[in-house]
Amino acid sequence: MPLSCFPTCFLRHPTTVQFLKFGIIGLIGFVVDTAFLYIGIGALDLSRIAAGFFAFPFAVTVTWIGNRIFTFRDHAHEPLAKQWIKFAAVCAVGIVFNRGTYALMVSLIPLVYDYPVLGLLGGTAVGMFFNFFASKRLVFRTTS
């Protein structure tokens, strides 16, 4: 790829396009994650860390659906339950990065304790890279 075409070529690269789509779906998942985090804290009286774990499966399910029909729609699709289990397994590993970062931020930074959505944002950013590449390789394989 010649350096002169870098911005245009980079933005047209299939992996870049998928990563941007993955980010859009991740943003939707982040909204769901945030809503259930605050439901856990407010309505269920969970600790901030427990509420973070409570919210996680809702976000996983929403992002799996979005990635299946939008990000990786041209990829082979396994039966729903089997693919969801694979995606959830990838996210379960990704939770170490995502919720680990969240838990550290909520526990160590007073501002994040007061506004736990900031911890979700940090955890989501850290987990996104792992989840994208693991999902692409292990869950949504190419059809060729």
Model confidence over 5-62: pLDDT tens digits? Answer: 555 665 677 888 999 999 999 999 989 999 999 999 999 999 998 998 899 899 999 9
Annotated domain spans of the chain: 15-139
Q: Give, to the nearest 10 degrees, the angle between helix 80-108 and helix 117-134.
A: 140
* Confidence band for 143, pLDDT divided at 50, 70 and 90: low
Task: Write the burial class of residue 54 (CB in 10 Å: 0-12 exposed, 13-18 middle, 19+ buried).
Answer: middle
Span 96-102, average pLDDT: 87
By the 8 A CB rule, do 106 and 119 touch? Answer: yes
Share the mean pLDDT of the chain.
87
* Confidence band for 144, pLDDT divided at 50, 70 and 90: very low
* Confidence band for 87, pLDDT divided at 50, 70 and 90: very high
User: Which two structure tokens, joined as six digits, stand for 107?
Assistant: 């526990």
Q: What's the pTM?
A: 0.76
- Is the pLDDT at 90 greater than 50, yes or no? yes
HSE (CB half, 13 Å, CA atoms) of 35?
10
CA distance 87 to 91: 6
Span 122-129, average pLDDT: 87
